[in-house]
Amino acid sequence: MSPNHHLYSLNDDQNRLHFLTLNYELIAAVGWQGYLEEGRGCVAIDNSSYNQLSKRNLDKQPQWNLDTLLGFYIGEKSNNFQALLGGKWPDTETAHRVAEYDPNWKVLVLVWFGGNNGDFLIQGVSIPQLPPPLCYQRLLPRLNEFIVSPV
């Protein structure tokens, strides 16, 4: 698949909701694993036309194949938090949401659209019957199947 081809434009609310629902269990598992390893943070999904954020993944951290898009976890205790975001969240609302969410019940997703201003949105997702720890437990035996080896 060429880097410019995305089946999902996550800037559209309906597309984003469909994508997050379709991929929820994997997103929640990645979110819980990231929380355990890197602390509070969010699953970053690169929806830029050239996958700019994923290419800047300096630590060669695993990227996850979320249907047709790449995603990875950015936690406040990771080297990528410093490298990609300069050690701080892009705005006060995002910082507040990261500080306040309950990782046992919700996953924060940061969708990166790229552009000169670093356009993004942050959204919390949850399915009460499938909390992130349960998703992680259910997918753990197969979680490595979704890893895209960094180049």
What is the residue range of 110's domain?
A: 15-148
Is the per-residue pLDDT at 92 higher than 50?
A: yes
* 120 within some domain: yes
* 58 within some domain: yes
Q: Residue range 18-29: average pLDDT?
A: 90
Domain count, the chain: 1
Contact between 43 and 109 under an 8 Å Cβ cutoff? The reply is yes
Q: What is the pTM of this model?
A: 0.80
Strands 63-66 and 41-46, how do they pair? unpaired
* 7 within some domain: no
Residue 64's H or E segment, with its range, is strand 63-66
3-state secondary structure of 107: strand
* 8 within some domain: no
64: left (phi over 0), alpha (psi -120 to 50) or beta: beta
Is the per-residue pLDDT at 143 higher than 50?
A: yes
